[in-house]
Amino acid sequence: MPKVKTNSSAKKRFKVTGSGEITFQKAFKRHILTKKSKKRKRALRKDGIVGPANKDFVMRLLRLK
């Protein structure tokens, strides 16, 4: 049997933490930042955590399940 490949775009976008959570960088922080509030930009700095509804799908893309 051939090996099953990990999804290349997923391995660039997601990272698994030590506790098993999957993190990602939040969107809307690349450009047109002048109209966004400081509070909003500060919140976008933090990593997002994949929710339970999508976790199984992301784990399958990363071949963790």
The residues spanned by each domain of the chain are 8-61
Give the tens place of pLDDT for each residue, 10-20.
999 999 999 99
Domain 8-61 annotated CATH 4.10.410.60: yes
| 5 within 8 A of 32, measured Cβ to Cβ | no
Task: Tell me the sheet residues that pair with 46.
Answer: none
Token couple for 7: 């999804």
What is the Cα–Cα distance from 43 to 57, expressed in whole angstroms?
25
Which pLDDT value is given to residue 1? 85
pLDDT tier at 8, thresholds 50, 70, 90: very high
